[in-house]
């Protein structure tokens, strides 16, 4: 695995862990929804295609999000502040 892929995997693991630790019905003001970065079953809330948190069907599903610290989403590969279909 290349160093860049390894680094991205480490970042995603941290983001997923952070998202799981901070998932609440009401997002804290210092968080933002980051779409397209959650692994299957690791999304923070319901999506158009999943009924609740942890039910996204595929990795990086465009309408599934993780709550991340403000400003981090733009730094993640595939991250978007708006849902994608």
Supply the pLDDT for residue 36: 93
- Integer Cα distance of 85 and 71 in angstroms: 23
pTM of the model: 0.62
Nearest Cα neighbor of 81 from 45, 33, 43, 44 is: 33
Supply the pLDDT for residue 52: 79
Residues of the chain with pLDDT under 70: 1-27, 48-50
Query: For residue 52, is it left (φ>0), alpha (ψ between -120 and 50) or beta?
Result: beta
Nearest Cα neighbor of 79 from 65, 70, 5 is: 65
């Amino acid at each position: 695995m290349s160093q860049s892929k390894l680094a991205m995997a480490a970042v995603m693991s941290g983001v997923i862990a952070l998202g799981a630790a901070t998932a609440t019905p009401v997002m804290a003001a210092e968080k933002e929804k980051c779409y397209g970065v959650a692994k299957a079953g690791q999304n923070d809330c319901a999506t158009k295609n999943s009924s609740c948190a942890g039910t996204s069907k595929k990795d990086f599903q465009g309408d599934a999000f993780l709550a991340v610290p403000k400003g981090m989403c733009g730094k993640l590969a595939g991250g978007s502040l708006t849902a994608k279909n």
